[in-house]
Structure 1
Amino acid sequence: MKKKMMLVIKYIFRPTSKWFSILIPVIGLGIFFFLVTLNNVHTEVYDIERFNSAKETIRSPITIENEQETQRKTREAVQSVEDRFSISAEVTEEREEYIEEIFDAIEKLKDEEFFSEKSDIEDTPVPLTNQEKVQRLQQILSSEISEEVSNEVLAQLIEIPDSDRDEAKKLFISSIKNSMETGVRTENLQSAISNAKQIIEYSDMDTDTQEALTQLTEFAVVENSFFDVEKTANARKEAASSVEPVVTRAGEIIVREGQTITNEIYEEMALVGLLDNQRNMFPIIGLGLLVLLISSVIAYEMNRLALIKKLDRGTIVSIFVISIIVIILMKIVSLYTTQGNQLFLVVPVATGVLLIKQLIHERTAIILAALYAILGTIIFNNQIPGSLNVEAGMYFFFSQLAGIFFLVNVKDRLAILKAGVGMAFVNAVTVLLFLFLSFEKYSLSDIFIQSGFAVTAAFLSAVLTIGLLPFFETGLGILSDIKLLQLSSPNHPLLKKLLTEAPGTYHHSIMVANLSETACEAVGANGLLARVGAYYHDIGKTVRASYFIENQLSINNPHDVLAPKQSAEIIISHPYDGAAMLKNHRLPKEIIDIAKEHHGTTLLKYFYYKDKDTNKHVKEEYYRYPGPKPQTKESAIICICDSVEAAVRSLREPTEEKIEEIVSSIVNDRMMDGQLDETPLTLKELKIIHRTICDTLKGIFHSRIQYPMKEAK
C-alpha cells in the first residue's frame, strides 16, 4: 500500500506532470493567502499579572458571553423580586358579615320586649339592663364574635343612639374596607388597624360612638393577604429572563493603556482567550481549512482549463500573479481601514477579473471573483478573529461581476474604460444598498464620500487593467482580444512584407481569414483568433514568393526547371519558415502554431504524382508535410479554408454546385487522411463548417449581370 502511495506521489510531482504544474502554484498561492490573512485571525497572547498597569490598549478578539457575570446579575434580579401575596376576598367579606351581624342583633334587641327576671308584677315589662342585653347578644351572636369581642365593647355598641347607629355602621364598614382592600399581612396588621381607627376618629360622630367603633376595629381588621407561591415563582422567572446576557463583543476595549488591571479585567481577558495560547490555535486551524477550500477550487478550475487545452505556462503564471496583486491591494488598504471609515470601498478589486477575462476565460474570472470576495471578508475584519466583513465581501463580489459583465466586444483599450463606467454605477448602487439597509443615519456628505470611493475604485480598476495588460501579453505571451486586434492591423511589419513581396498570397490570406472567421463563429470557436491566424499563416511564402503560383505574375514558373522533389521541398518548407519568422517577431504561440499546423501532414499531390510518372518507387512520405496536425478548432478550420479558397479560386466559372462539390471533397479528404483526428471538432460541427463555408463562398462568387458592350462603329 505504501509503495502504491509513493508511486502516485512521484507521478503527481514529476516535473512533466500536469498536476505538478497545477499543484505547485496552487500550494504557493495557498501559503500566500494564509500568511496575508494570518494576523486577521490570530490574536496576541499577553503575559500579564493582576494589579499591574496595562502597557497598551487591549481589545477583545472575539464576541463571547460572560456566563459567570450573567449568572450573578440573574441571581441579583431574582433576589430583588419581593414576595407576591394574594388578597382573600372571602376573609374581607366574612369580616363585613360579622359587623353586619353585630349591628343587626343590637337592632333586634331594641325592637323586642324583654322582661327582667326581677319583675314582681306579672305581665309588667321591665327594661333589660345593659348587662342583660350583652348576655342576650352573647347568646344570639356567632361563636367567633362572642369569643373575640369583649362584653365592654358590646355594651358600648348597645349604647350608641338609635339615630346614629346606621351611620355608625356605614362608617365602620367603609373604614374596614378601606383598610383591608390593599391587603393586610402580619407585618402591617397594626398599621391597617390604625388606619381604620383614624378614619373613625376624624369622622363627625360623637366621642362615645367613636370609642365604641374604635374598640371594634381590633376584631374587624384581620389578615386577608397571604403568601402566593405560584405568583412569586412566576415573578422570579420573569425577572431572570429579563436579564440581558453580559457579552464582551469583538473589538470592545477591555483595558486602556495605563489602566490598572483589576481582578475583573483579568478574568475578562482570560474569558476571551488573551491569556490562553492554546485556545488561540483554533482560528488558525479554521483559516487553514478555508485556504485549503479556496486552493482546491483554484486547482479544480486549472485542471478544467487543462482538459480543454487552455492551460499553459502563461495561464498558470497569470492566475498566480494576478491573485497576488489583488490580495496585496486589499491588504494595503486594510492597514488604513478602521471601524470608523469605509476605505475598502476604494479597493480596485475588479482589476484581477478584468485581466483574467481577457487573458484566460470568463468562467475562470467569475470563480476567482467569488474567491477574492471571500478573502476580502477576512482581510477587512479589522483583525477581529471570528468575524467576517460581509459588507466588504458583497461589495467586492458585485464590483467584480459588474466588470466581467460590462467588458464585452473588446476592440480596443477604450472598451475597458467603458466597462469602468458600468462598474462605477454598480459600485455606487451597492453603497446605497448598504446605507439604506443600515439603521444608522447618514448625512448627505457621507453618501457622496462613500459613493465617490466606489466610483474611484471602478476607474482605478480600469486604469490598472490597461496598464498591466501589456506586461502579461508581452512578458507571458498571452493572447488577448486587444492583442489580436493590434496584430490584425495592416501596418504590422510582417503584413506589410506579405503585401509587398507576395501580393497574391496576401489576397489569398485575406480570403482565408474571412472564411475562417465566419466558420469559427458558427461553431463557437474564436473567430478573431482564426482571422488573425489566417493573416499570418502563409507568411513563410515571402522567403521564396515567386515559387508559389498566386505570386507568379508575368513570369515563368520556376518549378518547370526543377525536379519534383526539389519543388516539393520548397513548397513544404513555407509553414516552418513562417513559424520561424513569427517566432523572431515575438508573435503569440497560438499564431505560430496555426502557421505550422495549417497543412498538417497532407500530401503534396501535384509533385508526388509528377514524380511518380517517372519513378514508380517514389515514397509518399517525401511529399508529405511533416506536421504537426491541427490541434485546435481554429487551426483545423484554417486548414480546410486554405485548401477550399485555393481550389475555388482556380475555377473559371464557380457555380453553387461546383462550390458545394469542392468543399465536400476537401472536408472528406481531410477527414479520410486523418488530418482532423487531433482536433476537438465533432461531425456535427464539421457539417456546420461545411455549410457556412459554402454560404460564404456563394456570397463572394455570386452571379453578376452581364453588361452589354458597345459595338464599334
Structure 2
Amino acid sequence: MKGNLRQFVQSILKIRTKWITIFLPTLALGIFLFMMSLNNVFTETYDIERFTSAKQTIRSPITIENEQETERKTRETVQAVEDRYRISEEVTQEQIGYVEEIFDAISKLEAETNADDDAADNEEALHHLSDQEKLIQLKEILSLNIVENVNDTVLLKLMKVAEDEREEGQEVFLSSLTEVLEDGVRAENKNSRINMVKESVKYTTLDSELVSALDKLSEFAVVENSFYDAERTMEARKDAANSVDPVFINAGEIIVREGQTITNEVYEKLNLVGLLNNERNVYPVIGLFILILLISSIVANEMNKLHRKNNLDKGKIASILFVSFIVVTLMKVISLYTNQTNQLFYIVPVATGVLLIKLLINERVAVVMAGLYALIGCVLFNGQIPGALNVEAGIYFFFSQMAGIIFLRNVKDRFAIVKSGLGMSLVNLMTVLLFIFLSFEKYSFVDLLTYSGFALAAAFLSAVLTIGLLSFFESGLGILSDVKLLQLSSPNQPLLKKILTEAPGTYHHSIMVANLSETACEAVGANGLLARVGAYYHDIGKTVRPHYFIENQLAIKNPHDVIAPKQSAEIIINHPYAGAEMLKKYKLPKEIIDIAMQHHGTTLLKYFYFKEKETNPKVKEADYRYPGPKPQTKEAAIICICDSVEAAVRSLKEPTEEKIEEIVSSIVNDRLMDGQLDECPLTLREVKTIHRTICETLKGIFHSRIQYPMKEAK
C-alpha cells in the first residue's frame, strides 16, 4: 500500500515538474511576444480641444467609413440631379401640323383661284380678290386654334409671298421648329426657344416680309411640350444616391498636420477613428492576447512532444527561447524603419531562427516555429495600424523559412548552411517577383533591383548569422548538433588520433561498434549519428593501459596472466570512468561522456569473476560488476549491446550465420535478464528490431568468401 502511494506521489511530482518546465518558458516567451507587439495594436490617444493647434501630425490608426461625410456627399449628389421632363410627342406633332396646315391652306387657296381664272397667272388671280376676301377664305379652311392665335397680318404676309419663296421659308421654319420641339420646350425656357427659331430664320436669304411673318408665327408654333416627370426624377435621384461611394478614412491617412487648427470636421474625424477614446484600445489588446495565447499553446505542445520522446532538456528549451528572442527582435527593429515605400521586411534574416532550431532540435519544431514567426511578422510589420496584418510580409517570411529548412540537408559541415542560403536566395527572389506580378501597382526597374537585393541579402545574412550563432548555442547551452557531431567524428580529432596511435586494436573495434550502432539506431528511430560518434569515443579510457585489453595484445604476452583476477577486474572496470574523465577534460559534449560511462552499465566481468571463484568461493559478485550507471538512452543501450556483440563475434574463428545469430541472441537476452536495459526507453519490439538489424549487418560483414587457390612451388 505504501509502495503504491509512493509511486502515485512520485508520478504527480513528475507531472508537475514537467508542466512547470514547459509552462514557465512558454509564459516567458508569451510575455516577450506580447510586449514586442503591443504598440502595433495599441492606439495612442490624444487630449485635444476644438480650435487649438495640433502639436504633431496625427494619422488614422484604422480604416473606417465616415458616415457623416458619406451622407453629406450623397445629399449633394442627389441635389445636383436635375428634374426629369417628359416631352409630349402629341404636342410636338400638333404644332408642326398647325404650321404645315397654314402653308398647305395658302397653297390650296392659290390653286383654287387659278382654277377659276384659267387665262390669268397665279399673281393675277390673287389680285382679283381683295386682301380681306383672301383672308376670309383662308380662315374658313384653317383650324379654329390657328384662326384664334395667329395674327391676320402674318397670314396676309404669307399669302403675298411668291410660292417658291414661301416653300423655302416653310422648309427652313419647319426644320428649326422640329429641332426645338424635339429638344423640349419648358415654361422657363420658352422664350429662349422662340428666339432660337427666330435666329434660324433671320440669317437666311428669305424676303424680309416673309422673315417678319415667320418671326410672328414662331410665337404661335413654339409652345411648352416638356412636362415635369416626378417618377423619373425620383428614380434618377435614387440611382445617383446609390452611385455614391462611401467615404473612408484610411489607415495611415493624415487627419491633421502639425500646426493646423483642429476644426470641428477634424475633431469629428479624430473622434470617429478612436483617437479621443481610451476605451477603444482595450479590444485590440484583447485580440493580441488571444493571438499570443494560441502561439504559446502551440510552442508548449511541441515542447510536450519532445518531453514524451525524452528529448527535451534545458538546452533545447533555452534554444527555443533565445532563438525566438533573436528573430522577433530583428523583425521589431527593422519594422521601426519600414513604411509603405521602402518595404524593408524583405531584408529581415528571419530564416536564421528555423535553421538554428533544425540544427539544434529537429525539423518538425523548425517547421512549426516557421509558421509562428510568420504570424508574428504579420503583426510587427503592420505599420503600427491596429487591426491590420501585413500578409505580404508573413507570406515572404514563411516561404523564406521553409526554403531554409528544405535546403538544409545532409549536414556534413557548416558549408551545408551556405548551400541552404543559396536555395533561400532563389525562393526569396521568386517570392519578390510573386508580389510584383500580383500587384496592380507599377514597379520601376530600380524597385525590382532594390527588392531583389534585399531578398538576396536576407538569405546571405540568415546563413552567416546561423553559422555565427551555432557555436554559441552549442557551447553556451550545451546543445549537441549534427554539425558538432560531424566535427567530432573527424579522424583529425586529438582523442581519435590518441586511440589510433596508442590502442589501434581498440580503434578498429570502435569503428566496428560505430557501424553496428548507427545501423541499429536508425532502425528504431534513434540518433544514428550520435551513436556513431559515441561509439568512436566509448573506449577512450583503454588508452590509459591499452595492453591490458586483448584487442591491443598483438604478439605480446597477456599481462592478466601474471596478476590476480581482482587486480585485472579493477583495471578493466576502470576504463569507462577513466574515459569519461578524459572526455570531460577535453570538453566533449555530455551525451558522448554519458555513453562512455554507461556503455557497460552494471554488467558482470564473468571471466575474472569465475576465475577468482575457482580459488575463492566466497567472492562477492558486486566486486566484479561495473558500478554503472545503466544505459539511460536508446543510443547508450544500443552501444552497450553492440560493444559486446562485436567483441564476441570477432573472437569466432569461423563466424557462420548460425553462430552469429546464437551469439547476438545470447548477448541481447543476457542484457535483458540482467536488467541492463531497464532504465532506457527501448521497448521489447525495438529490442527485437535491434537484434535483427545487428544480425543482418554482421552477416554482411562476415559473409563467406571464395577460397583462391595457392600457387604450387615448382
CA distance, structure 2, for counterparts of residue 40 and residue 107 of structure 1: 91
Q: Scaled by the length of structure 2, what TM-score is found?
A: 0.86
SS in 1 for 2:280: coil
Q: Is the 8 A contact 2:331 2:350 kept in 1?
A: yes
Q: Is the 8 A contact 1:559 1:567 kept in 2?
A: no
CA offsets 1:327-370 (integer angstroms, 9 cap, x no match):
12222223333433233333222221111111101111111122
Change in CA separation of 1:170 and 1:683 when aligned onto 2, cut-off 3 Å:
same
Q: CA deviation at 1:675?
A: 4.8
Q: Is the 8 A contact 1:546 1:558 kept in 2?
A: no
CA distance, structure 1, for counterparts of residue 695 and residue 619 of structure 2: 36
In structure 2, give the amino acid aligned to 1:89.
Answer: E
Q: CA deviation at 1:703?
A: 3.7
CA distance, structure 2, for counterparts of residue 252 and residue 163 of structure 1: 74
Change in CA separation of 1:91 and 1:609 when aligned onto 2, cut-off 3 Å:
farther
Name which of structure 1's ranges 601-610 and 94-103 shifts more when overlaid on structure 2: 601-610
In structure 1, give the amino acid aligned to 2:368.
Answer: I
Change in CA separation of 1:109 and 1:558 when aligned onto 2, cut-off 3 Å:
same
* Corresponding position of 1:229: 230
Q: Is the 8 A contact 1:15 1:21 kept in 2?
A: no
CA distance, structure 1, for counterparts of residue 369 and residue 378 of structure 2: 14
SS in 1 for 2:278: coil
* Corresponding position of 1:50: 50
Q: Scaled by the length of structure 1, what TM-score is found?
A: 0.86
After superposition, where does 1:103-252 map in structure 2 within 5 Å? Answer: 103-110=103-110, 141-149=142-150, 165-252=166-253
CA offsets 1:273-324 (integer angstroms, 9 cap, x no match):
2221112222222222221121111111111111122111110011011111
In structure 1, give the amino acid aligned to 2:218.
Answer: T
CA distance, structure 1, for counterparts of residue 645 and residue 510 of structure 2: 12
Name which of structure 1's ranges 574-583 and 217-226 shifts more when overlaid on structure 2: 574-583
* Corresponding position of 1:558: 560
Change in CA separation of 1:49 and 1:85 when aligned onto 2, cut-off 3 Å:
same
Q: Is the 8 A contact 1:12 1:20 kept in 2?
A: no
* Corresponding position of 2:522: 521
Name which of structure 1's ranges 217-226 and 97-106 shifts more when overlaid on structure 2: 97-106
Name which of structure 1's ranges 397-406 and 698-707 shifts more when overlaid on structure 2: 698-707
Name which of structure 1's ranges 414-423 and 354-363 shifts more when overlaid on structure 2: 414-423
* Corresponding position of 1:21: 21
In structure 2, give the amino acid aligned to 1:87.
Answer: I
CA distance, structure 2, for counterparts of residue 644 and residue 14 of structure 1: 36
SS in 1 for 2:75: helix
CA offsets 1:107-132 (integer angstroms, 9 cap, x no match):
445555899xxxxxxxxxx9887666
* Corresponding position of 1:63: 63
In structure 1, give the amino acid aligned to 2:458.
Answer: A
* Corresponding position of 1:38: 38
After superposition, where does 1:376-391 map in structure 2 within 5 Å? Answer: 376-391=377-392
Q: Does 1:417 align with 2:408?
A: no
Q: Does 1:641 align with 2:642?
A: yes
Name which of structure 1's ranges 203-212 and 252-261 shifts more when overlaid on structure 2: 203-212
* Corresponding position of 1:120: none
After superposition, where does 1:251-650 map in structure 2 within 5 Å? Answer: 251-499=252-500, 502-542=503-543, 548-552=549-553, 554-556=556-558, 558=560, 562=564, 574-576=575-577, 578-600=579-601, 602=603, 604-606=605-607, 629-650=630-651
CA distance, structure 1, for counterparts of residue 552 and residue 202 of structure 2: 140
Q: CA deviation at 1:13?
A: 10
Change in CA separation of 1:62 and 1:505 when aligned onto 2, cut-off 3 Å:
same
Q: CA deviation at 1:561?
A: 5.8
Q: Is the 8 A contact 1:14 1:20 kept in 2?
A: no
SS in 2 for 1:471: helix
Change in CA separation of 1:39 and 1:351 when aligned onto 2, cut-off 3 Å:
same
In structure 1, give the amino acid aligned to 2:638.
Answer: I
CA distance, structure 1, for counterparts of residue 505 and residue 552 of structure 2: 5
SS in 2 for 1:226: strand
Change in CA separation of 1:338 and 1:155 when aligned onto 2, cut-off 3 Å:
closer
Q: CA deviation at 1:441?
A: 4.3
Unaligned stretches of 5+ in structure 2?
1-10, 117-126
SS in 1 for 2:255: strand
Unaligned stretches of 5+ in structure 1?
1-10, 116-125
In structure 2, give the amino acid aligned to 1:539.
Answer: I
CA distance, structure 1, for counterparts of residue 202 and residue 708 of structure 2: 140
SS in 2 for 1:330: helix
Q: Is the 8 A contact 2:40 2:379 kept in 1?
A: yes
In structure 1, give the amino acid aligned to 2:18.
Answer: K
CA offsets 1:534-590 (integer angstroms, 9 cap, x no match):
1222334456655544445533463786467x7667655654554455445443232
Q: Is the 8 A contact 2:548 2:558 kept in 1?
A: no
SS in 1 for 2:244: coil
Change in CA separation of 1:540 and 1:163 when aligned onto 2, cut-off 3 Å:
closer
Q: Is the 8 A contact 2:165 2:207 kept in 1?
A: no
CA distance, structure 1, for counterparts of residue 48 and residue 313 of structure 2: 54
SS in 2 for 1:467: helix
Change in CA separation of 1:555 and 1:66 when aligned onto 2, cut-off 3 Å:
same
* Corresponding position of 2:652: 651
CA distance, structure 2, for counterparts of residue 204 and residue 301 of structure 1: 101
CA distance, structure 2, for counterparts of residue 316 and residue 286 of structure 1: 27
CA distance, structure 1, for counterparts of residue 188 and residue 13 of structure 2: 89
